[in-house]
């Protein structure tokens, strides 16, 4: 577990440093894009948003089914209620991340 903690700490530091350096680089070297490149990028984002919408809906549907299962398991079998509750929380956490990614892509699509 200690090794996993160190790995996560290193990845977090790398991501933060990368974002900071990348932000500075973007501010210093501003690129201009042609209208054709902008339109091509918007078309690509539209396609991705369409696919992601259906993947997100499917994941939310499956997540609902399994959350109901684990919560029912916790009610029916009280000795497994901790396990069932933890599994339901894990499913909700994963679905939250998927929903945030979908919301970000939709935000890019709308702008």
Secondary structure in 3-state letters for 24-56: HHHHHCCCCCCHHHHHHHHHHHHHHHHHHHHHH
Give residue 108's pLDDT.
80
What pTM was computed for the model? 0.62
Per-residue pLDDT, averaged over 81-95, amounts to: 92
Residue with the bigger pLDDT between 62 and 33: it is 62
Residue 4 has pLDDT above 80, yes or no: no
Give residue 29's pLDDT.
85
Per-residue pLDDT, averaged over 57-73, amounts to: 89
Please check whether residue 48 is in contact with residue 30, taking contact to mean a CB–CB distance below 8 angstroms.
Answer: no
Per-residue pLDDT, averaged over 32-59, amounts to: 86
Give residue 18's pLDDT.
92
């Amino acid at each position: 577990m200690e090794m996993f903690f160190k790995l996560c700490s290193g990845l977090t530091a790398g991501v933060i440093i990368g974002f900071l350096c990348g932000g500075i680089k973007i501010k210093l070297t501003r690129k201009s894009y042609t209208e054709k490149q902008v339109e091509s990028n918007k078309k690509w984002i539209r396609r991705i948003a369409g696919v992601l919408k259906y993947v997100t809906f499917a994941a939310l549907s499956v997540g609902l089914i399994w959350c109901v299962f684990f919560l029912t398991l916790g009610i029916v079998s009280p000795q497994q209620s901790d396990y069932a509750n933890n599994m339901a929380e894990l499913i909700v956490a994963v679905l939250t991340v998927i929903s945030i990614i979908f919301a970000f892509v939709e935000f890019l699509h709308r702008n």
